[in-house]
Amino acid sequence: MLTFTSVLVLNMLESLHSYLGNFVQLTDADIQMINKIFVYRKIKKNELIAEDGKVCNRLLFVNNGYVRFFHFDDNGTEITSDFYFAPTFVTTYTSFLTGLPSHVNVQAMCNMEALELSKNDLNELYEKYPKFERVGRLIAESVAIHSEEHLFMLLNQPAGVRYRKLLEKYPLYINTIPLQYIASYLGITQETLSRIRKSKA
Amino acid sequence: MLTFTSVLVLNMLESLHSYLGNFVQLTDADIQMINKIFVYRKIKKNELIAEDGKVCNRLLFVNNGYVRFFHFDDNGTEITSDFYFAPTFVTTYTSFLTGLPSHVNVQAMCNMEALELSKNDLNELYEKYPKFERVGRLIAESVAIHSEEHLFMLLNQPAGVRYRKLLEKYPLYINTIPLQYIASYLGITQETLSRIRKSKA
DNA sequence: AAAAACCTTTGATAAATATCAAAAAATCAG
DNA sequence: CTGATTTTTTGATATTTATCAAAGGTTTTT
């Protein structure tokens, strides 16, 4: 008998297979194994997936919505440093990889569904299925490219230009993300972003 | 008979082995193979290792000195976006990985020695020696972490704070790198950086 | 539907940083 | 060593952006 939840899980798993399929070809055995080690999770809007000060040992595959990375600077001002949009893997990269406490919080911006893998299970996966080293490498590479793009946007362009480039890059999302979060991602205050938006209207 | 050059090459290779040894344990066979596929190169100060507009198909291991990444913004102003310090691998990451033309130039800041690997040889390496997928993954991960750190430094801190953090992080190098290059890395003009330096003296 | 909480805009002013031009200092090449 | 080139500093001013405070909007909760 298929319960309602199990249908959701199957959908999620299919989505994960298809995502991984972008990186390597999956055999039936691979798929069996994936289905076994990932755990289905529901995540509520605003829930913290990872927290500043804690070591992050989880890797999540999220299928819908998006997450926000943020921290507080020396003055206690909240800074949004990143967004990741589904379908994607999410973790506090630096903490997950180094085993050191995270400097950032990761927050679900919508009610989301996810498949979770622990760091231990991932490492076992790497040992037993070398194919997944490649997946890990390709994903790490895409994370590196993602960061570099954000970096390039911040360097030496006036705030208005940065905002327009962001709009071009994520046309679907930028108008739905609260402005205050986008502002610090662009390295400006929300008041300045509000004025920039107005001036282009 | 050992020529002068061959001694240099042997030193470079040893340095490469030791660098790779941080990521995986190398067997004698691995070492033989590495010695065969990497090519020794001399690079002159100011030489461009990779160029804006061209696809970058080279991966270099450099053993001494450092390189600078730069490009020109919409106003024609030169922007330094990154530094990598030896010992390290160097490539225009995004172009090397995607096969698209690079948006940046990579410039040797000193006379340097390097060991070069082509993209084709690297891909063969990945196919034949899955162990190196792990090396690739770990290096990609460290690149991602490196970018993220630069990003964090730029976000929402006054320029003086950014400069001091940079000094703390690279105490050996910052005072030897021309100020004009550091300025744009920090997202400010050289005049502003000059004044910041003066105010801390 | 009203209250509460949250998010965005507006205005006045202050602070940080950029720009432009030129002088001083350091480095390089012959 | 010395003139040429490059890099850094300085000064005056303009521009951009931040800050603070308050008012409008929106959304969520009860």
Q: Which residues of A touch B133 (CB under 8 A)?
A: 130, 133-134, 137
Mean pLDDT throughout A42-67? 94
B41 touches B63 (CB < 8 A): no
Element (H, E) at A20: helix A4-21
CA-based nearest residue in chain A for residue B152 = A81
* Partner A contacted by B158 (CB < 8 A): no
* Partner A contacted by B134 (CB < 8 A): yes
| Residues B95-131 as b or e (16 or more Cβ within 10 Å = b) | bbbeeeebbbbbbbbeebbbbbbebeebeebbeebeb
Which nucleotide lies at the shortest CA–C1' distance from B156? D18
Query: Which among B74, B156, B187 has the least Cβ separation from residue A79?
Result: B156
Q: Which residues of A touch B77 (CB under 8 A)?
A: 156
Which nucleotide lies at the shortest CA–C1' distance from A45? D28
CA-based nearest residue in chain A for residue B95 = A145
User: Given an 8 Å threshold on Cβ–Cβ distance, is B97 in contact with A145?
Assistant: yes
Fold of A4-129: Jelly Rolls (2.60.120)
Phi, psi angles (nearest 5°) of residue A89: -85, 150
A113 touches A42 (CB < 8 A): yes
Whole-number Å distance between alpha carbons of B139 and B89: 9
* Nearest chain B Cα distance for residue A13, angstroms: 24
pLDDT at B150: 92
* Partner A contacted by B123 (CB < 8 A): no
Gap from B67 CA to D5 C1', Å: 23
Gap from B63 CA to D8 C1', Å: 30
Whole-number Å distance between alpha carbons of B186 and B95: 23
* Nearest chain B Cα distance for residue A97, angstroms: 8
User: Given an 8 Å threshold on Cβ–Cβ distance, is B73 in contact with A156?
Assistant: yes
Query: pLDDT tens, position by position, for chain B (201 residues)?
Result: 656 667 778 889 999 999 999 999 999 999 999 999 999 999 988 999 999 999 999 999 999 999 999 999 888 899 999 999 999 999 998 999 999 999 999 999 989 999 999 999 999 999 999 899 999 989 998 998 999 999 999 987 899 999 999 999 998 889 899 999 999 999 999 999 999 999 865
CATH architecture of B4-155: Sandwich (2.60)
Please check the confidence at residue A83 and state whether its pLDDT lies above 80.
Answer: yes
Nearest alpha carbon to residue B169 among B156, B188, B187, B182: B182
Query: Which among B140, B161, B187 has the least Cβ separation from residue A140?
Result: B140
Please tell me which residue, A6 or A200, carries the higher pLDDT value. Answer: A6
| Alpha-carbon separation of residue B50 from A179, B20, B93, B142, B180 (angstroms) | 38, 23, 10, 21, 21
* Partner A contacted by B157 (CB < 8 A): yes
Which nucleotide lies at the shortest CA–C1' distance from A180? C7
pLDDT at B180: 95
Mean pLDDT throughout A63-69? 93
**One-letter amino acid identity for B81?**
S
CA-based nearest residue in chain B for residue A123 = B134
Query: Which among A97, A133, A155 has the least Cβ separation from residue B81?
Result: A155
Mean pLDDT throughout A136-148? 90
User: Given an 8 Å threshold on Cβ–Cβ distance, is A187 in contact with B155?
Assistant: yes
Instruction: Please provide the average confidence, as pLDDT, over all residues in chain A.
Output: 92
Gap from B186 CA to D22 C1', Å: 35
The token duo for B61 is 């291991």
Please check the confidence at residue A40 and state whether its pLDDT lies above 60.
Answer: yes
Whole-number Å distance between alpha carbons of A78 and B148: 17
Residue A155 pLDDT level (bands cut at 50, 70, 90): confident
Burial of A121 by CB count in 10 Å (0-12 exposed, 13-18 middle, 19+ buried)? Answer: middle
CB of B150 nearer than 7 A to strand D: no
* Partner B contacted by A100 (CB < 8 A): no
